[in-house]
Structure 1
């Protein structure tokens, strides 16, 4: 067994032995490197695996905590368990969404079980097989690659046959038409581009993720804003990427447009995370934000204010969505609402900071 696997198994055993109880902070990476006499890289790999498997979760700037996994070793209260399958657990906006869910569910006596797909269909299948083996009250899902045909739809139909309610957040599999909570991503993409247009920008680039429906809708809004304001879109300024292609596009096509004589004066990004990552390439090109380039993110995540460049961005109702999803799944469980009841669509708002300025 490799060293990181040994560390991983020891932490799992400590969780099962209740050395760490749900929501308790575990020792830091530095402390674990001393405890297990291994490198920080080894500890980090073990922790990342445990986070992806739902044994742990992390809170940005706070640390790593033991997740709720009572059903993995205890049968009492099994009918009060709700599972969450999301693309990611430990980073970006997901901890805040999860905190909102957990705070409401725990107050109602429900346990939240966490699973991560890493936006991969095979991992989603594994997560669904795992939850199907449990005596769950309900399931909350953030769809995997929601702009692609999903090979795992049969599992959701099996859930319906078993009478287990489920809902979806951020996106939805259109074939299933489930109850869902999502942002009006098209309007958000429109607001991004409209802000730059109103600031006098006429050569605007867009970088959008296209294996998730959110990115496709944001791109649609970006295009609509240009059409409504009669601003032409130069096709070479509209960049798309999939989950696996992000770094390749940032280092290739994105770097190329920054080097052009007719480079854009403004850029709309799929989200804050991509915008902050792109800042490195912008600096390497000898450009500064916002003097040379105005940029707009999406989600108003903690990253929007984490660097010296405070991002203009579109707000995502992270904690609120988590709470409302928890309320909705309990209502579905208790049959106080039906899956075909009107879903929730949040209206996005633009948050203006220092990363954009008048052209």
Structure 2
């Protein structure tokens, strides 16, 4: 029983820090080593406790930077819980993302937090892990909570979503919602997105203009971001009158990422005498996976193969090969989404608010080069 006791002791203490405002939203918490000494427990116990709080949405991790507080402290007034609920009514925003603790999402959430906290709104964070059933659970939980609006990143947006009735229930209850990164076409809701088709196009055309013709595209296809990036990839070939073949495309789904995609890439690079000269990737994570597999086979980037990522995340500069990548507004998207939801709630102008589409740009680094 000793381990669970220590584990819960750490969880309770971190929650106490958050509730008391000792750690504020966006602030970094102590390191694993510091907390292990502080609580006289193993780093494994600390890691378990922090992982649980990340899962609950109270904390989030940022690669290479540490773990941060993502929750707004509860009211510290000595009044009943019910009175607290009434006191906070009109000041709660639900945030549902596919992921919370990695890649570009911490930056988006920080953008939301920076604006919402300035307006005295509290965040209620939830994550679907890009799973339809988990999205259902998140929506049910939000509808039971005292929320005034919801910002949602859709789950597997390229196909029909069986959770439509929850969104219609939000509408019936006059709870405004906004979708970011993509949206469900069946609903045509207000949204803030990137022009992903253009992003796929300029990533591919960058390689074409640098002399590449044998170019492979790797795209995730259960989310609309990947579908539109793929459309831009294909359009670049058509517009530049370069032959296109099915073998030039590798698609994958969320479930394929860990095993199936790597196997496909291993097969693609098995014949080192028949390599593509350029590869356009769905995002920076896939680009680094590609670079690592190529490195294992003794294939040099960019001398042998040029690689383009997408999202211009922290990963684009995390390795010795700096990624050419397409920009994603991240922090600005979070701020704009927060402004949109607050304006809609406070001015009751859900039908007047316009959607936002950002135009992407190419950031050229040393993962691509011109060929003869």
Shift of 1:37: 5.4
Asked if the contact 1:146/1:171 (under 8 Å) is kept, the reply is: yes
- The corresponding residue for 1:49 is 52
Asked if the contact 1:317/1:346 (under 8 Å) is kept, the reply is: yes
Task: Report the number of matched residues.
Answer: 359
Gaps of 5+ in 1: none
TM-score w.r.t. the length of structure 2 is: 0.90
Shift of 1:9: 6.6
Distance (whole Å) between structure 2 residues aligned to residue 49 and residue 232 of structure 1:
50
- The corresponding residue for 1:238 is 249
Shift of 1:244: 1.4
Asked if the contact 1:296/1:355 (under 8 Å) is kept, the reply is: yes
- The corresponding residue for 2:233 is 222
Query: Is structure 2 residue 260 aligned with structure 1 residue 249?
Result: yes
1:159 maps to which of 170, 185, 189: 170
Q: Secondary structure at the match of 1:25?
A: coil
- The corresponding residue for 1:104 is 115
- The corresponding residue for 1:86 is 97
- The corresponding residue for 1:293 is 305
CA RMSD of aligned residues (A): 2.2
2:29 maps to which of 8, 26, 30: 26
Which stretch shows the higher mean deviation, 56-65 or 267-276?
A: 56-65
Shift of 1:237: 2.6
Q: How does 1:199-214 map to 2 (within 5 A)?
A: 199-214=210-225
TM-score w.r.t. the length of structure 1 is: 0.93
Query: Is structure 2 residue 71 aligned with structure 1 residue 68?
Result: yes
Shift of 1:160: 0.9
Query: Is structure 2 residue 357 aligned with structure 1 residue 345?
Result: yes
Distance (whole Å) between structure 2 residues aligned to residue 66 and residue 317 of structure 1:
22
Distance (whole Å) between structure 1 residues aligned to residue 336 and residue 211 of structure 2:
38
Deviations 1:32-75 (A, max 9, x none): 33455555344334323321221212334332223225469752
Deviations 1:73-97 (A, max 9, x none): 7523231111110011111111111
Distance (whole Å) between structure 1 residues aligned to residue 311 and residue 320 of structure 2:
18
Distance (whole Å) between structure 2 residues aligned to residue 55 and residue 12 of structure 1:
12
Asked if the contact 2:326/2:361 (under 8 Å) is kept, the reply is: yes
Q: Secondary structure at the match of 2:198?
A: helix
